[in-house]
Amino acid sequence: MKDNNEKVPRSSWWMVFGVVVILTVWSRFHKVAEPDHVCWDETHFGKMGSWYINRTFFFDVHPPLGKMMIALSGYLTGYDGKFAFEKPGDKYDGVNYIGMRMFCAFLGAAIVPFAFVIVWELTHSLTAATLSASFILFDVGVLTLTQYILLDPLLLFFVMGSVLGMVKFHSCKDRAFSLQWWFWLALTGVMLACAVSVKFVGLFVVLLVGIHTSAELWDILGDLTRPVSYSIKHFIARAVCLILLPALLYSIFFYIHLHVLNKSGNGDGFYSSAFQSQLEGNSLYNASMPRELAYGAIITLKNHRTGGGYLHSHWHLYPEGVGARQQQVTVYSHKDENNNFLIKKFNAEVTESDPVELVKHGDLIRLEHVPTRRNIHSHRVPAPLSRKHYQVTGYGENGTGDANDVWKVLIVNGQDGDVVTTVSSKLKFVHYLKNCILTSSGKQLPKWAYEQQEVSCNPNMRDANSLWNVEDNIFSRLPNVSFEVYAPSFFERFVESHAVMLQGNAGLKPKEGEVTSRPWQWPINFRGQFFSGNSYRVYLLGNPVIWWANLVFLGVFFLVYFYHSIQEQRGYEVLPQVREARKQFATACSWLFLGWALHYLPFWAMGRVLYFHHYFPALLFSSMLTGVILNYLLESLTSLLFESLASTVYHWLIGVIFAGLVFSFYLFSPLAYGMTGPSASDPQSSMFGLRWLETWEF
């Protein structure tokens, strides 16, 4: 390529790199404090930052590192964790939110110089590096996504940092086991650990680095001038830095997360009773309640399903057409007085004057919902969602029902005479007449049930979701005991956290009226996402000039690669320097294309709800790929068509491209920096005429 490593003076490299950094810093920190109200998902991640500062436990579908870093940045810059972050649009009156925004903007800004260095290491072309960085720098979508209190700036930073470490480490291959070699290898491992610790999609860059590492090890193994022991040393070094080190860091991040969040919060109910016993303020923390279960006790029942909630009922009835029009029974993931049930004998009331009688394996019982005094009931009517199951309802008046309220309580692996114990006994409730088992299907009910989970009675007695345990046990006539014995180890809490997160991710569904998208829409920039509405409008949308160019050059990459392959197969002779340039081009583009594919294609197979911002890691690879291909084509075509004027024409074309990028950024920058006044459809608006697609809602 024209401006290879030998031909580019270091002063020129640093000058161009400095200009890229200055423009990036200016564009990212310009108006970073505006708007001065909560924007889009700041309501989630700002709130989670507050919970870390207050040490309040919560549930989230993502690993903890990103939220911990946001919380730390807020704490160090004077934020006290008292702002509610209740909903988008809430004013930051007197709240020190700037530190968290600037921290996210700083990490978001770093991805532009990262892209510059990555492409430089892959191509040793100053122009390709500058073009690639510019496609990211002048994209208003990347700008918007990295100016707010979100996880995305952190994720993009660590993804690009991982790739930077990978290519810098590869450039040290002729200095194996030197200090510099170890530094870049270890840094790659650290960045990989951090990427996965922010969001699970960081696993895609782990896969990219893993494939690249495997290719390197294969080449080393094929070097017959070295003994096999040399290859083994390389393998061990990579295993330590790219597997063991990230795994250790990932575990440390979770240890800090679980250590800091030691106070009970609204996420407790997603976790097991034993897990909750470690949270200050939780009813099970240093719990003092009866160990054994007696008739007349008021209890809560927690489902053993991963992320399972509490057996729950409320005054509302099943709607017309949904089974019997009786009281709804659901599973609810939060602690609530509507989770309380009175355990009764199936054929008699228990009074204070009766002797204490313990509940045992095989007993027939009734469960009376304390607030409404209706019994848990089932009958041969299909459940709302699981049509092969029977409906479960609340039935009766003042605790009096019928024979369909009777359940047989069974302890898993229990024997006749075994007493039901709090927390530790795994229980099944079998309907006495219908011979079905009380279960939580995990399916989310519609709005008429407040989107809580379905409870049903399954004729299949082997249902894995039919296990329950007594969590709260209120009964004054038995002595209380400490529940410290149930305290789980860090490893048990670590494993359970992941099970709950993975299930939460898989179960994410769109909320009513929420703007979602599908993967086919992302590369074509089909629809954006409002970050802020009303008088100050911010709209996440990619710069269409850049996004559509990226799409075109993905196709051009295949055409050029195919053309070169045909020439090579047909035995066309080319100059050695041309062959070397083609090889370098193919290698750089192949890895960047693989990075794009690994960060984009897996979303086609995901069943969870998806959003526009999920495409941005793939976009970074696509933008770098475009810069490399564009520079290669300009060099090749100008040399071929203009010969003696090649250099002049080439630089003129580069100038036109940069002018187009700057102008397109100028046109669409109000989307990122905020729009006020009339809408884009009004001729008085600065955005009038820029709504090129009907689906763009700005």
Query: What secondary structure letter does DSSP report for 475?
Result: -
What's residue 697's pLDDT? 85
Percent of the chain having pLDDT more than 90? 75
Position 513 scores a pLDDT of 65
DSSP string, 289-327: EESB-BTT-EEEEEE-STT--EEEEEEEEPPTTSSSS-E
Predicted local confidence at residue 98, as pLDDT: 97
Please give the Cα distance from 483 to 367 (Å, whole number).
Answer: 24
Same domain for 294 and 251: no
User: Rounded to two decimals, what is the model's pTM?
Assistant: 0.88
- Residue 251 corresponds to which tokens in the numbers above? 């575990």
> Which whole number is the average pLDDT over 315-319?
96
* Type of residue found at 627: G
Provide the pLDDT for residue 5. 43
Q: Which amino acid is at 274?
A: A
* Distance between CA atoms of residues 316 and 312, nearest Å: 12
Q: Same domain for 194 and 294?
A: no
Q: How many CB atoms lie within 10 A of CB 123?
A: 27
pLDDT (0 to 100) of residue 21:
98
Domain assignment of residue 41, yes or no: no
Do 218 and 285 lie in one domain? The reply is no
Residues 352 and 425 placed together within one structural domain of the fold: yes
**pLDDT of res. 388:** 94
Q: What's the pLDDT tens digit per position in 568-590?
A: 888 887 778 878 888 899 999 99
Q: What is the pLDDT of residue 644?
A: 67
| Residue 663 lies inside a defined structural domain of this protein | no
- 269 located within any domain: no
Whether residues 244 and 327 share a domain: the answer is no
Average pLDDT over residues 497-508: 85
Give the angle subtended at the CA of 162 by the CAs of 608 and 197, to the nearest 5°. Answer: 45
Q: H/E element holding 687?
A: none
Which residues are registered as beta bridge partners of 312? 330
pLDDT in tens, 29-50: 999 999 999 999 999 999 999 9
Task: Indicate if 327 and 416 belong to the same structural domain.
Answer: yes
Rounded to whole angstroms, what are the CA distances from 690 to 517, 524, 659, 661, 667? 22, 16, 18, 15, 8
Mean pLDDT computed over 140-147: 97
- Residues 190, 314, single domain; the answer is no
In terms of Cβ atoms closer than 10 Å to its own Cβ (0-12, 13-18, 19+), residue 266 is middle
Measure the CA–CA gap between 175 and 594, rounded to whole angstroms. 27
- Here the tokens at position 231 are 């290859």
Burial class (CB in 10 A: 0-12, 13-18, 19+), 509: exposed
More confident residue, 564 or 454: 454
- Confidence label for 1 from pLDDT (cuts 50, 70 and 90): very low
Residue 620 within any structural domain of the chain: no
- CB contact burial 222-259 (16+ within 10 A = b; e otherwise): eeeeeeeeebeebeebbeebbeebbeebbeebbeebbe
Q: Which of 492, 526, 552 is the last residue of a domain?
A: 492
Contact at 8 Å (CB) between 128 and 627? Answer: yes
Say if CB 502 and CB 335 are below 8 A apart.
Answer: no
Say whether both 189 and 319 belong to one domain: no
Asked whether residue 463 falls in the same domain as residue 406, the answer is yes
**Full residue range of the structural domain in which residue 488 is found:** 274-492
Number of H helices, E strands in the chain: 17, 16
* CA dihedral over 80, 82, 84, 89, signed as positive or negative: negative
Instruction: State whether 355 and 416 are in the same domain.
Output: yes
Kindly state the average pLDDT of the residues 674-696.
81
Q: Between residues 194 and 640, which one has the greater pLDDT?
A: 194
Burial class of 536 by CB neighbour count within 10 A (0 to 12, 13 to 18, 19+): middle
pLDDT band at 643 (very low <50, low <70, confident <90, very high): low
Q: Which of 302, 287, 280 is nearest to 484 (CA)?
A: 287
Asked whether residue 138 is domain-assigned, the answer is no
Lookup result for tokens 């709130």: 47
**Rounded distance between C-alpha atoms, residue 303 and residue 309, angstroms:** 6
- What's the average model confidence in pLDDT over 531-559? 93
Q: How many domains does the chain have?
A: 2
601 within a domain of the structure (yes/no): no
Please check whether residues 301 and 441 belong to one and the same domain. yes
| CA 291/CA 419 separation, integer angstroms | 10
The last residue of a domain, from among 471, 492, 513: 492
For residue 6, pLDDT over 60 is answered with no
Chain segment 389-437, per-residue pLDDT in tens: 999 999 999 999 999 999 999 999 999 999 999 988 999 999 999 999 9
Question: Does residue 532 sit within a domain?
Answer: no
Give 259-276 pLDDT, tens digit per residue.
Answer: 999 999 988 888 888 888
Indicate if the pLDDT at residue 96 is higher than 70. Answer: yes
Instruction: Answer with the one of 462, 492, 522 that is the final residue of a domain.
Output: 492
Phi, psi of 344 (to 5 degrees): -125, 155
Tell me how far apart the alpha carbons of residues 378 and 29 are, in angstroms, rounded to a whole number: 60
DSSP states of 641-686 as a string? Answer: HHGGGHHHHHHHHHHHHHHHHHHHHHHHHHHHH-B-SS-TTSTTST
Give the pLDDT confidence score for residue 289 in this predicted structure.
87
Least confident interval from 231-240, 419-428, 455-464, 528-537: 528-537
604: number of Cβ within 10 Å: 10
Mean pLDDT is lowest, of 337-346, 417-426, 482-491, 607-616, for 482-491
Domain holding 333: CATH number?
Answer: 2.80.10.50
Asked if residue 319 and residue 204 are part of one domain, the reply reads: no
Residue 18 has pLDDT above 60, yes or no: yes
| Residue 187 domain-assigned (yes or no) | yes
Residue 8 has pLDDT above 90, yes or no: no
- β-strands 364-369, 407-411 pairing: antiparallel
